[in-house]
Structure 1
Amino acid sequence: MSEWAALPKVELHLHLEGAAPAAFIRGLAAEKREDISGIFGKDGNYAWRDFPHFLKVYEAACSVLRGPQDYHRLVLAVMEESAAAGVVYSECFLSPDFCGGGDPGAWAEYLAAIREAAAEGERSCGLTLRGIATCIRHLGPERAKRAALCAAETAGDFLTGFGIAGDETLLTPADFLWAFDCAREAGLRITAHAGEWQGPGGIRDTLRALRPERLGHGVRAIEDLALVDELAEAGTVLEVCPGSNVALGLYRDFRAHPIHELDRRGVRVTINTDDPPFFRTSMIREYEELHRAFDWDEGQFRRLARQALDAAFCDADTKSRIAKKLEG
């Protein structure tokens, strides 16, 4: 067993469907008599060639998730995997577009099943889960409005945030201003994917238009040290996913990844897995590779876990409870 397995961890950037174990999706496809065998390699894991192909494999895997009960089962499977890696608190991205096609009534049914599974999973494996609703950038602003309305109507103790995912190279952050204003008015906390496939300019546009507390990825800020200083001064949190960035070719390996330099320059970084089974990673592997690349020790990992908890979108009582686990 890895020396990092038992260290309590906090994860803020996890796509629910993207965290579906390959065996779970294969089993679900078999139950539905769907042939999606082409998305798996000989070893049974997801197989993709590049980012466009990854998106197609991802969509094919999602195609067998068709109702609230499927998502109930998915949440339990994902929580079991995360808890086995030592995660004690996790926030996952949920899309009203995937869960009910943007229909408020259908979304409410999906969310009820997800919440029920989260409560069941917490009882069985001790991991606390919260949800962040996301709109999908490449589906456009009108669909984003529908997603925001769904999120606003179900904001509460479980659904605590709103964000945007999808193809970062399409449209502009300002195109989604209505959706984010709607979510913010409902009391939802704000995060946004930026700085993965676009450089510093995309990050600046996102910060200016959407005013997020956190950025999904954000790592390409390193290409503009003035922007790095601004992020550090503002306290903007980066949901960094090193293994994902390496797997998708943004950086050649962990040693070339900017997370260490961003942290050294005072940016509030966190460690996350993004879509772990697709990228052959886990929170344990992230810790192992960061230790190997930068000689990060237990003290550094505990500091970043606490930093992640401070940036979490949950209530104060939940934070207090999780903080005690981090001290263990």
Structure 2
Amino acid sequence: MTEQELRDPKRKPSHEGVLRAMTKIAAILPPTPLLPLEVDGTTIWCKAEMLQPIGAFKIRGAWNRLTDLTDEERARGVVAVSSGNHAQGIAWAAQRLGITATIIMPENAPKAKIEATRGYGAEVVLYQRPGQDRDAIAAELIARTGATLVHPFGDPWVMEGQGTLGLEAEAQLKARGVEGPLHIIACCGGGGLSGGLALACPDATLSIAEPQGWDDMIRSIAAGEILSVEDQAFPTPCDALQTPRTFPINFDVLRDRVHSSAVVTPADISAAMRVTFEKLHLVVEPGGAAALAAVLSGKIDPVATPVVTLSGGNVDWESYRQMVGGTA
């Protein structure tokens, strides 16, 4: 694809787009560690994205999108919707690029995420979840200001940026002398990360994990059409994975690429958070532990060379204490 084609907002995301995003992201962010973890005699390679500057992988897609805005678009600012990690990624990138950012966030998002987003200089507009439509709020704001929407998953730049995680993992394994096809196990909300990984690593086996009650992507793939979450008031500790439904841009990439999937429970998540703390000495948030939870619970069987996404570590202390203590 040409440079002009890769800048077209109506284009489909592509492997070429992921390669281009990797060049931009490698220039500003060092690779996150890829850490080995033994699980029942199998080495699982864990991509520690909680060690990104904002504590989550979302910085990848945010930087890729904002750096491709025109001067005119930068002057009008950006609007995003997010429960917190995409919010911080957008705010971080916008601050460095001198762009005004407004983020629509749920009132019940972790306080740590709301405060961090404001700390990067973004304006935060809170809404009720469930009850209010964040996309409608964003659309009204965009109509009034002319700002550019940077969606957390339904955007080709964002998806390609997230896919750079897969390119990094491949290079890190090769540097260690680990060969063979990959089996990528990823947490999934709207499909930005898993879709990006599917594009980045076309020969890899791909599995996804979603939290109980919020398994709309798994149900959509099984049905062959996009389905919404059945009960948007269903309680889950995985705030980062509470997406009401995927977008066609994500579904079109994933519908024929997902090899296996798992719905993980709060108990599965708690166990994965404890293992991450005890074995890797890292803090992972509930949504960021979903992929590892699927492996540890036996719901996804690792094959080939397994790479698991530990996608974020932004969690309030009290919530973390309750989850790792099994009292949530």
Please report the TM-score for the alignment, with normalisation by the length of structure 2.
Answer: 0.34
Please report the TM-score for the alignment, with normalisation by the length of structure 1.
Answer: 0.34
